[in-house]
Amino acid sequence: MRWVNPLSAPLAVFAASVLLLLGLRFLDLSIWIALPVALVVAFGLAPFFQAKPPTANPELARELEAAKQRALELSTKADSFYAEATKLLTAPGQVEALGIVQYARSRVQDLPTRVAQLADRFEGSGSLLALDDLREQLQGVEAKASKSSGVARTQFVQLADSLRRNIRLAQEGQDARVAQVTSLNTLILDTAGTLQAMQNRLRTTDLPQVKELQSLDEQLTAFSESVDLLVGDPGLAPAAKTTQDRRSFLTSLGIAGAAVALTFAPIPGTQRTLVIVSGTELQEPLQALKIQFEKIHPELRLDLQFQGSQDIVNKFIDDKNDFNPAVIIPANGQILKELEARWRAQNSSDPFYNAPKPITKTLLVAIAWPERGKVLFPDGRFRWDRLEAALKAKNWANFSGNASWGSFDFVITDPTRSNSGQLTLGLFAQSKSGSLSIATLNDQSASDLIALVKRSVYQPPRSTDVLLQEFIARGPNEADIAIVYESIALHRWSQSTTTQGKPYQIYYLDPTVETVSTAAIVRRSIDERTAQSARTFLDFLTQSEQQATFVRYGFRPVNGDVPNVSDSPWQKNIPGAESKLSVHTLPIFEPEILTEIKRLWERSN
Amino acid sequence: MRNRKYFAVLLTALFLASCSSDAPADFSGFQVELRVGSALGDFCKAAIAKFNAQSPKLANGQPFQATCNPEGSGDVVTSVTTLANQLKSGTIKADDPQFPTLISVDGEIYQSQLIYQIDQLFPGQNYIPAITDAPLIANSPMVLMAQPDVAKGLQKVADPYKALVTAKTHQDIDPAGPALTVHYVQTAPTRSNSGLQTLVAQFASVSGKRPEDLSVADVQRYQADIQKVQSKVTRYGASTNSLAKAMVKNGPYWATVGSVYESSVIAANSTLPTDQTRYQAVYPKSTFSSNMRIILPNAPWVSADEKAAAKQIIDFLRTPETQKIATELGLRPGVPGVPLGDKFTAAYGVLPEPKYDSYRPPSPAVVSAMLTSWLSFAKKSSLVVVVVDSSGSMEGDKIAAVQRTLQTYVDTLGPKDQIALIDFDTEIREPVVIDGTPQGRARGQQFISNLQAEGGTHLYDAAIFARNWLRGHLRKEAINAVLILTDGNDEGSAISLEALGEELKKSGFSTDERISFFTVGYGNDGDFNKSALTQIAELNGGYFAPGNPETINRLMADLQVEF
């Protein structure tokens, strides 16, 4: 099979385009499957659908071949005639005669090219010559005839007659091209005869009359002009073919362009949905950013789902979601490492498209209702030992507090479902021994501590923002102190005044732990095209404008300090809030430490 | 399979459209039912009306409407558990339209019960999510409602419930208080969340333990003290708000203290003229916050479409605008950043920032033990004379529906309950006394089967006959009441309505006999004298309710809870 450029075969391009459209838009195939298949189809079908030459006409081919041969023979003959002339016409008075022969030779030498041009033109046209072309030729020939005289005029009149016959043939639906070639053959034969006459005159006369040669040359000029008229504009024949090629090329490009547009551009009512599952701490900024993103990318719709960070892992691994997430954003990257390890243990494959990408970060803080915080932390600094003592005391009355405050209520999230609960227990345990390892976690003091916390906290929520929302909505009667993220504590701070008539106080844990919300694009049920949309979304989130939005919601940017963003919570004089941290910050704990914390929590009674 | 699913959805829509007026008749989408506790009922109805007005649709374009069905929290748990049981046994399928999509109960004790009971049926499936996985919609602490003079005394004591164990008058609680006998009202714990929270709080008070520390043995140990508190009950009920309003209407001789939601105090005071004395909320030092959460079961009876619709509803219920409806009704908002509004002031009898220690629920097993103890031991006994009109106009469907209803009533009599059935038309027959024993039920069965529709309606004569019989057989330390069920106007009674009214006053709540009257007008409006029936009931600490063959069973079941 010969190799054909598919762009010269619009039908092949059309078939491939339909396939691409169906594959990507409706069958949700990966672009890495749909595109190669479409290319194979385009190249495979191109030879069959290429713009075909006009229906072959054997008589035309024969006539063209004969004309070609005659033109070549005549060209050779003209060369030998000129060589002979250069030997014969050596006297000084014969230079003009030699010039006439040279001129005649050049005209004859042009004939094979003109025949080839006509052949090309016929190949590029339909089986029938266009009547308009023939009429145009006739007009040209008649114009020449009217301005000519003598032999030339006779020649043009004959050619005009020949063209009128060809027009008639074309009008009758017959192939006028054969007649045109016949006319050309006649002209070649006439040219050969004239050249022969010129040669005879040279051979038989010692001193040929320049006038005689000039007359023969006039005949040759008339034949040559007739040939030009018959063949048409020298540039026309190849151009006609190029025009058709260009038309095919442009048609193919148009089809391919339309297919790409239909495949990738949004069709009204056919938005692509990207399901994002995030920890609840990002709920409010993501909901705000969703509006901006969908404005910029109307072809994409974000379906935001929020779960506790550990739930994100568990529900993904156990396939318990009633949606297919494309992007998951737990509160820290270690949770993604855990997910990856669990996924690989079950599937031996990579769960993510790309390396997980940090989005924004925050750290763990404590919040307390002010009058209770003052009793708990008299010097205004958070202390784990004071918290432990209060938990052991159970009631405020046993802890130098107001008896009417009732029981001492410490709230954290469920460590088996949420990141902040795990980190809280890790920091609490570390405060006992000064370091944190699986060994220190299994010290009696750490185990006792975890058991104490488990006995004290009541119905720990699945996620940190749910915890904070209820901390505010239910007020001091339900909870005295909570461990939450700095981001949401800052962002929701004013709500506590609205709902409870008083704001809570923020306390920085020392050391605290930094948690970086990290996004991964998952592979399960997500095709490349969706993954590409997900990359677009993640790139959007990490641009400086969006990072500023995160800062407005109390998050810290992934790189560097809190920038000077207008309306950021650090500009609202929130009691206890620090834009530049005075406490030591630890990186997130290793996955095995977090796993051990969960295990100890589940084991505690 | 898919067709079957949509057929089921269609059937659900048709079923709900037929029993609810919330959606227009030509609505082509599907219906999502919210079955909520009665404390959230008014909020739910108002919020859902606004939600439906937005013509909600799923992401796939499918329209839907929500319906709100308030019930006592205990009834919500019972109905969902019963359906789940039927699902398990194969009697019904998961797409049965009787299953609600969203559930709410008025507090976490009943929520724990729901989780526990469904988990017993389907172990390990977690069909009902954990408590805090259900988004908070509103909360309202349990308080004691009283007029200012009584409230003052209650605020002085460390533990009001403990004081109620021994106090006979309010001067026993506070010497400076009024010399009023302690008459107390609470809802029935078997059907109402506030009643159950009250019962648990009473156990916590008398035992000195926090609810979560109570054991089954503690229930046995302290039930005698609970009985002493319960002995002061004027009547029970299914709806906390109704009880609070009845307190306002009937005055301190009917009840001096009610155990209700803070929102009930606000609602009751909202109905009072400005010049009338306001009731006050007394916040116990420890009480339940009554967290009202919206539960979306992760169960086979909730389809993907229903789940998607439910999420939209939940989001709507938690918007600040919708939450404002809750605060206007006296409920504290379930989301942060929503102002309390002007109802949370002393003018409505409540404190904007009350201080109390929040109780946590006891274990489900302890709750079950408390309910059993209440039904069989602690609950105040009752004797109710049920006066049944069997005149000729009751012929056909009416008498048949009444017979079925009475049968249910008799079958569900508790060990502390007695009824006396009187059949009347032109003739007034001798009462048949029935209790929850097998013999008692057999007598009830015989009475019901002997009912025949014939004769006229000597309604007023029957009423005075019942009262006189009850006076002669008054049950001590019990709720004594008359319940009249009639479908027509009085015809030919010897006593007039005015004379009846005067006579009944002699045994009403200003006397020691404390006989209350409840009346049911049965049939179409105009068949019975609504004005006369209302007058008889409301002058005697009860109320009038209309019924028909379709609603009589539910109506009588609700009335039964009063006693």
* Helix, strand counts (H, E) of chain A: 24, 9
Residue A56 contacts residue A119 (beta carbons within 8 Å)? no
Model pLDDT for residues A160-176, shown as the tens digit of each residue: 888 788 787 777 767 77
Residue of B nearest to A476 (CA): B355
pLDDT for the residue B8: 42
Most A-contacting residue of B323, B357, B360 (CB-CB within 10 A), to test interface: B357
Question: Which one of B286, B304, B353 has the shortest CB-CB distance to A501?
Answer: B353
Contacting residues of A for B211, CB less than 8 Å apart: none
- Whether B2-138+292-333 and B142-290+345-376 share one fold: the answer is yes
Mean pLDDT (chain A) is 85
Contacting residues of B for A498, CB less than 8 Å apart: 336-339
pLDDT for the residue A423: 94
Interchain CB distance below 8 Å, A499 and B131: no
Model pLDDT for residues B465-507, shown as the tens digit of each residue: 999 999 999 998 899 999 999 988 898 899 999 999 999 999 9
pLDDT for the residue A268: 56
Residue B87, both tokens: 């699902």
Interchain CB distance below 8 Å, A499 and B139: no
pLDDT for the residue B94: 96
Model pLDDT for residues B389-405, shown as the tens digit of each residue: 999 888 888 888 889 88
Architecture per CATH, domain B142-290+345-376, reads as 3-Layer(aba) Sandwich (3.40)
Please say if the pLDDT value at position A587 is more than 60: yes
Please say if the pLDDT value at position B5 is more than 60: no
Task: Name the band, by pLDDT with cuts 50, 70 and 90, for residue B12.
Answer: very low
Q: How far apart are the first and last CA of chain A?
A: 78
Higher per-residue pLDDT: B141 or A572: B141
Unique residue bearing structure tokens 């929102």:
B263
C-alpha span between A518 and B473 (Å, rounded)? 77
- Give the distance, in angstroms, between the CA of residue A330 and the centroid of all CA atoms in the same chain: 28
Please say if the pLDDT value at position B82 is more than 60: yes
Give pTM, 2 decimals. 0.71
pLDDT for the residue B2: 40
Q: Which has the closest alpha carbon to B413: B234, B232, B520, B556?
A: B556
Residue B189 contacts residue B369 (beta carbons within 8 Å)? no
Residue A324, both tokens: 């297919």
Please say if the pLDDT value at position A150 is more than 90: no
Q: Report the sign of the C-alpha dihedral through residues A402, A405, A407, A412, in that order.
A: negative
Count of CB atoms situated within 10 Å of the CB of A376: 25
Burial class (CB in 10 A: 0-12, 13-18, 19+), A274: buried
Interchain CB distance below 8 Å, A405 and B355: yes
Question: Which one of B59, B339, B360 has the shortest CB-CB distance to A458?
Answer: B360
Please say if the pLDDT value at position A219 is more than 90: no
Contacting residues of B for A470, CB less than 8 Å apart: 132, 136
Architecture per CATH, domain A362-515+566-603, reads as 3-Layer(aba) Sandwich (3.40)
- Nearest chain A Cα distance for residue B333, angstroms: 7
DSSP letter (8 states) at residue B54: T
Interchain CB distance below 8 Å, A473 and B334: yes
Please say if the pLDDT value at position B17 is more than 50: no
C-alpha span between B315 and B166 (Å, rounded)? 48
Segment A75-80 mean pLDDT: 85
Q: Is A499 on the interface with B (CB under 8 A)?
A: yes
Segment B140-155 mean pLDDT: 96
Please say if the pLDDT value at position A156 is more than 80: no
- Nearest chain A Cα distance for residue B304, angstroms: 8
Ramachandran quadrant class, B34 (left: phi over 0; alpha: psi -120 to 50; beta: rest): beta
Residue-wise burial string across B153-176, b where 16 or more C-beta atoms lie within 10 A, e elsewhere? bbeebebbbbbbbebeebebbbee
pLDDT for the residue B365: 93
Unique residue bearing structure tokens 């949770």:
A335
pLDDT for the residue B395: 87
pLDDT for the residue B279: 96
Higher per-residue pLDDT: A173 or A112: A112
- Counting every residue written for chain B, the total comes to 563
Please say if the pLDDT value at position B164 is more than 80: yes
Dump strand ranges (E) for A204-253.
none
**Domain B381-562, CATH among 3.40.50.410, 1.10.3720.10, 3.40.50.300, 3.40.50.150:** 3.40.50.410
C-alpha span between B117 and B112 (Å, rounded)? 8
Please say if the pLDDT value at position A85 is more than 90: no
pLDDT for the residue B347: 92
What is this model's ipTM?
Answer: 0.84
C-alpha span between A246 and A7 (Å, rounded)? 10
Please say if the pLDDT value at position A247 is more than 80: no
Higher per-residue pLDDT: A72 or B303: B303
Vertex A551 angle, CA A549 and A557, to 5°: 110
Most A-contacting residue of B128, B132, B209, B319 (CB-CB within 10 A), to test interface: B132
Please say if the pLDDT value at position B355 is more than 70: yes
pLDDT for the residue B514: 92
Contacts of A133 (CB under 8 A, 6+ apart): A232
Architecture per CATH, domain B2-138+292-333, reads as 3-Layer(aba) Sandwich (3.40)
Segment A373-398 mean pLDDT: 96
Interchain CB distance below 8 Å, A470 and B141: no
- Nearest chain B Cα distance for residue A518, angstroms: 24
Please say if the pLDDT value at position B114 is more than 60: yes
Q: Which has the closest alpha carbon to B183: B236, B282, B245, B255?
A: B255
Report how far apart, in Å, the C-alpha atoms of A167 and of each of A158, A159, A597, B185, B268 are: 14, 12, 97, 115, 107
Residue A159 contacts residue A141 (beta carbons within 8 Å)? yes
Cis peptide before B56 (omega within 30 of 0): no
Contacts of B562 (CB under 8 A, 6+ apart): B235, B236, B237, B238, B479, B481, B518
Residue B60, both tokens: 């796939």
Residue A357, both tokens: 């990408």
Task: Name the band, by pLDDT with cuts 50, 70 and 90, for residue A256.
Answer: confident
Contacts of A138 (CB under 8 A, 6+ apart): A160, A163, A164, A167
Segment B267-271 mean pLDDT: 92
Task: Name the band, by pLDDT with cuts 50, 70 and 90, for residue A267.
Answer: low
Q: Is A151 on the interface with B (CB under 8 A)?
A: no
Please say if the pLDDT value at position A27 is more than 70: no
Q: Is B523 on the interface with A (CB under 8 A)?
A: no
Burial class (CB in 10 A: 0-12, 13-18, 19+), A576: buried
pLDDT for the residue A315: 92
Question: Which one of B332, B336, B356 has the shortest CB-CB distance to A469?
Answer: B336
3-state helix/strand/coil string of B517-555? EEEEEECCECCECHHHHHHHHHCCCCCEEEECCCCHHHH
Please say if the pLDDT value at position A266 is more than 60: no
Model pLDDT for residues B363-382, shown as the tens digit of each residue: 999 999 999 999 999 999 99
Model pLDDT for residues B184-221, shown as the tens digit of each residue: 999 999 999 999 999 999 999 999 999 999 999 999 99
Residue B478 has phi, psi (to 5 degrees) of -140, 165
- Nearest chain A Cα distance for residue B68, angstroms: 24
Interchain CB distance below 8 Å, B337 and A495: yes
Most B-contacting residue of A459, A466, A480, A497 (CB-CB within 10 A), to test interface: A459
Burial class (CB in 10 A: 0-12, 13-18, 19+), A26: exposed
Contacting residues of A for B128, CB less than 8 Å apart: none
Cα R_g (chain A), whole angstroms: 46
- Counting every residue written for chain A, the total comes to 605
pLDDT for the residue B4: 41
Q: What are the structural domain ranges in chain B?
A: 2-138+292-333, 142-290+345-376, 381-562
Share of residues in chain A with pLDDT > 70 (%): 90
C-alpha span between B348 and B266 (Å, rounded)? 5
Higher per-residue pLDDT: A327 or B20: A327
Cα R_g (chain B), whole angstroms: 24
Q: What are the residues facing A405 on neighbouring strands?
A: none
Task: Name the band, by pLDDT with cuts 50, 70 and 90, for residue B24.
Answer: low
| Strands B357-358 vs A512-521: parallel, antiparallel or unpaired | unpaired
Model pLDDT for residues A397-440, shown as the tens digit of each residue: 999 889 989 999 999 999 998 889 999 999 999 998 889 999 99
Higher per-residue pLDDT: A485 or B397: A485
Q: What are the structural domain ranges in chain A?
A: 6-50+249-264, 58-234, 362-515+566-603
pLDDT for the residue A272: 87
C-alpha span between A132 and A584 (Å, rounded)? 90
Segment A73-97 mean pLDDT: 80
Task: Name the band, by pLDDT with cuts 50, 70 and 90, for residue A55.
Answer: low
